[in-house]
Structure 1
Amino acid sequence: MLTEQQQQIITNIYDYVCIKLANDTTGHDIAHIERVVKLAKHIQSFEPQTNLFIVIISAYLHDVIDDKVIENYQSARNDLLAFMAQQPITQDEQLAIFSIIDNMSFSKNLTKQRALSREGQIVQDADRLDAMGAIGIGRAFYYGGNKHDSMYDPNIKPRILKSKADYRQSNTIINHFYEKLLLLKDKINTPEGKRLAEQRHHFLIEFVKRFEIEWEGE
């Protein structure tokens, strides 16, 4: 159970995130954050040995210093550090939170799996689950449209991503399914996350199959 003080800290962080992501048009808005928090809390309920407070805060903050979302990484990080210093959070808690949000993203784990606490694995699973299924499809097209990517070009083949630079390089939206979304199922950490991922992964496969058939006018 969370204490009254912890609940207030979470409220403060929620308000902070709402302000920071208020103008997001990439699919990393507060609605995404709230879904990730809900999924993380659900998965954590199957992992009672973990710290719910750390899970919730990390889930709320996981995108506020992500360089695919914000314009100036160092400025955003400094702002978050200053904000967190104002909260009654211990140094160990802050280290645990930053260790998660600094290391959980897909792009940072392309070449080597970064070590995450169990709390970090829970938040990572929740974030990856929101990139799958029906919501994941919607977010993929929303993000791709924001970046002016074309929907599909059968002459442009999916890549094997080897670096963050590869990941950030523009490509078709359907290729994003092959390069990332369809790979997420096998990268989930927790048993409950794996269970949820199976359903969402199947939906992705069926969508891509149908999309490619309809693209040909069939």
Structure 2
Amino acid sequence: MVIKETEQFVKTFHADDFSGHDYAHIERVRRMALQIARREGGDVQIIELAALLHDVADAKLGGTSSLVDTYLQPRVSPGERQQILEIINSLSFKGGDRPPMRTLEGKIVQDADRLDAIGAIGIARTFQFAGQFKEPMYVPGLTPREPGDRTSPTSALHHFDEKLLRLKDLMNTDTAKVIAADRHRYMLEFVERFKQEWEGQEEA
């Protein structure tokens, strides 16, 4: 029952999102987290609820941690609520220097979220996010932002150097590392092809 309730709550929260953090993203993260859990273990309900709710706490999407806390209070035990909140509050990339996840459940949800940021869908989400926040597609000669810098100019393509191409080496579980390696190769090919087309350097 709590899973179905949470699905509806999250669908409503993300109903008007066009930044790549819509309910389709949430559903992919949930499926991937459960797929990883089948190989790696962990408490499936904690994993599923954390995956469903992880972006409800994201300030850039209008969410807060207290909103998640309030939602969970009447639905799960205090211990479960604390574990889910710990996962959600530790999930974000934020320059790639966050402390490691403490629990297996947290590692699995973090891996699932990061996997959705790379590969073919990750590429699409990057350009969708840039358009939503009025960032250019590409600016030749622009220096990639340093970790934690959210104010300097950037572009969709620079986001690959700033974050996406770093995610492969930040995966927690063996299952995610295998998937990430394949998606990473795809992104490298895309970035090279993008720059060739931008400069008109393809062979006729």
TM range (shorter): over 0.9
Q: Within the alignment, does 1:179 sit opposite 2:165 as a pair?
A: no
**Post-superposition offset of 1:168:** 5.9
The residue type paired with residue 49 of structure 2 is I
Q: Please tell me whether the aligned partners of residues 54 and 97 of structure 1 are also in contact (alpha carbons under 8 angstroms).
A: yes
Q: Please tell me whether the aligned partners of residues 57 and 66 of structure 2 are also in contact (alpha carbons under 8 angstroms).
A: no
Any idea what SS the aligned residue of 2:157 has?
Answer: helix
- What is the CA–CA distance in structure 2 between the aligned matches of 1:159 and 1:63, rounded to whole Å? 24
What are the equivalent positions in structure 2 for 1:138-177 lying under 5 Å apart?
A: 138-161=124-147, 163=148, 166-167=149-150, 169-177=152-160
Q: Within the alignment, does 1:53 sit opposite 2:40 as a pair?
A: no
The alignment's C-alpha RMSD in Å is 1.4
Which consecutive unaligned segments of at least 5 residues does structure 2 have? none
Moved over 4 A (4+): none
Any idea what SS the aligned residue of 2:40 has?
Answer: coil
- What is the CA–CA distance in structure 1 between the aligned matches of 2:69 and 2:189, rounded to whole Å? 43
What count of residue pairs does the alignment treat as equivalent? 201
**Post-superposition offset of 1:110:** 3.2
**Post-superposition offset of 1:30:** 0.2
Which consecutive unaligned segments of at least 5 residues does structure 1 have? 1-7
**TM-score computed with the length of structure 2 as normaliser:** 0.94
- What is the CA–CA distance in structure 2 between the aligned matches of 1:182 and 1:63, rounded to whole Å? 22
Q: Within the alignment, does 1:101 sit opposite 2:88 as a pair?
A: yes
What are the equivalent positions in structure 2 for 1:4-83 lying under 5 Å apart?
A: 8-48=1-41, 50-70=42-62, 73=63, 76-83=64-71
**Cα-to-partner distance string for 1:144-183 (whole Å, 9 max, x where unaligned):** 000111111112121331x2xx146551111000110000
Partner of 2:185: 202
Q: Please tell me whether the aligned partners of residues 29 and 51 of structure 2 are also in contact (alpha carbons under 8 angstroms).
A: yes
Q: Measured at CA, do residues 168 and 138 of structure 1 come closer, stay the same or move farther in structure 2, by a change above 3 Å?
A: farther
**Post-superposition offset of 1:113:** 2.2
The residue type paired with residue 78 of structure 1 is S
